[in-house]
Amino acid sequence: MTRDEPRWRIVTVTLATEDPPLETAPDHSDNPVSRETDLRSVRLAVINQKGGVGKTTTAVNLAHGLARQGLRVLLVDLDPQGNATTALGIDKYADNPSSYDLLFKGPHEARWTPTKYEKFDLYPANIGLIRAELDLLQRGDDRQVVLKKALDQMEFPHNVIIFDSPPSLGILTLNILITSDAVMVPVQCEFLALEGLSMLLETLEEIKETHNPLLYSLGCLVTMVDLRTNLSQQVVSDLRENLGDQVFESMIPRTVRLSECPSHGKTIFEYERWGTGARAYEALSREVIDRLGIENPNKAAKS
Ligand SMILES: Nc1ncnc2c1ncn2[C@@H]1O[C@H](COP(=O)(O)OP(=O)(O)OP(=O)(O)O)[C@@H](O)[C@H]1O
Ligand SMILES: [Mg+2]
């Protein structure tokens, strides 16, 4: 078995949730809800309608972290700000096939761009994405499923597709949530963190009920934590008390290195491999693999 054909690429990913089953896969009847993605990539949304909470930092560094664990990862930058694209050193004004093309031009004209990192590809945002919301709104009844339709007609060699989303619950974010298998929510460790979060979690439940019953809540990720302060400790303990294991065990510390690396076009793993930021995103990558139920790619590749 070569590294390009690892066993885990065809390992079925089973996502279990506590919701009543709507589409139960026959092979996994012991799980409350099973979903087989088989050869299809697992689609993971990183969302929060609040700005500046660490969505992009998480999408980029988690994507690289998962690639470093041996998964083939595709990051789709669907935020018109294009911060994930810039953070990876790619020019959002360049004429690369973009996430806009993915949405509107069909599979033949829209191919992803490799990043400088192994096993890590990107659909960059480009300036055209600014008009995507408008274009989507002008579509007919299928305006909420444009992304899903585009992705469903393509074949991806990737194990995981991660979507970075804009700070709103507009039509782009709805497209992301409808096409995703799982969603994670970065939450900035600050006063009243829980207040905005409960509203968002209620909205996610509504979207599950109305649009995507199999959407799996992977968890909330506490970002920009400084456990030396009483405030951070209090916020973390409140979040854990209220949301239990919905909160990832991994937490992302506040570190200036994480805020510096995008301007160098580098992920934290390249910028400061042994710092607290890289270690935190490495731990998060392992936890995400675990929560998604993906067989550990490193183990599979070695066996
Ligand atoms: N753990 C961290 N420590 C220090 N700074 C951080 C950390 N995470 C993110 N930042 C910085 O905080 C700012 C907001 O982060 P980021 O862009 O990831 O948030 P976002 O939720 O994607 O924002 P937006 O909603 O505008 O897309 C950025 O300047 C980023 O570099
Ligand atoms: Mg962002």
The CATH number of the domain holding residue 12 is 3.40.50.300
Q: What's the structural domain count of the chain?
A: 1
Asked whether the predicted pLDDT for residue 28 surpasses 60, the reply is: no
Residue 277, in any domain of the structure:
yes
Q: Which pLDDT score, from 0 to 100, does residue 140 have?
A: 85
Q: Is 61 within a domain? A: yes
Q: Measure 55 CA to ligand 2 centroid, in angstroms.
A: 5
Residues with CB under 6 A from ligand 1: 51-57, 79, 81, 83, 167, 223-224, 252, 254-255, 258-259, 262
pLDDT: is 279 or 128 the higher one?
279
Question: What integer is the mean pLDDT of 256-279?
Answer: 98
Does pLDDT of 73 surpass 70?
yes
pLDDT computed for residue 192 by the predictor:
86
In this prediction, residue 193 carries a pLDDT of 87
- CA–centroid distance, 23 to ligand 2, in Å, is 33
- Given pLDDT bands bounded at 50, 70 and 90, which one contains residue 209? very high
Q: Can you list the pairs that 89-97 forms with residues at least 24 positions away whose Cβ atoms lie under 8 Å?
A: 89/115, 89/116, 89/264, 89/265, 89/266, 90/115, 90/122, 90/124, 90/265, 92/124, 92/125, 92/126, 92/127, 93/126, 93/127, 94/124, 94/126, 95/126, 96/124, 96/126, 97/123
Structural domain contains residue 192? yes
Q: Which atom of ligand 1 is nearest to the CA of 225?
A: 1
Residue 2 in any domain: the answer is: no
Share of the chain above pLDDT 70, in %: 84
How sure is the predictor about 25, in pLDDT bands with cuts at 50, 70 and 90? Answer: very low
Dist. CA 45–CA 173, nearest whole Å: 9
Res. 36: pLDDT tops 80:
no
Residue nearest to atom 14 of ligand 1 (CA): 52
Asked if residue 1 is part of any domain, the answer here is no
- What is the CA(54)–ligand 1 centre distance, in A? 4
Q: What is the mean pLDDT of the chain?
A: 86
Residue 42, classed as helix, strand or coil, is: strand
User: Does a structural domain hold residue 53?
Assistant: yes
Question: Residues 133-156: what's their mean pLDDT?
Answer: 92
- Predicted confidence at residue 299, as pLDDT, reads 62
Nearest CA to ligand 1 atom 29: 259
Per-residue pLDDT tens digits for 251-262: 999 999 999 999
CA distances to 36, 64, 112, 262, 280 from 269, rounded to whole Å, are: 31, 8, 22, 12, 11
Answer whether residue 26 shows pLDDT above 70.
no
CA distance 150 to 10: 22
Within a domain: 127:
yes
Examine residue 116 and state whether it is found in any structural domain, yes or no: yes
Atom 23 in ligand 1: residue holding the nearest Cα: 52
Domain that holds residue 254: 7-302
Separation of CA 247 and ligand 1 centre (Å): 19
Out of 53, 57, 264, 267, mutate this one to test ligand 1's pocket (max ligand atoms within 8 Å of CB): namely 57
Report if pTM > 0.85. Answer: yes
**34 pLDDT more than 70:** no
- At 111 the pLDDT is 85
Closest ligand 1 atom number to CA of residue 254 = 3
Ligand 2 centroid to Cα of residue 260, in Å, is: 15
Compute the distance from residue 121 Cα to the ligand 1 centre, in Å: 21
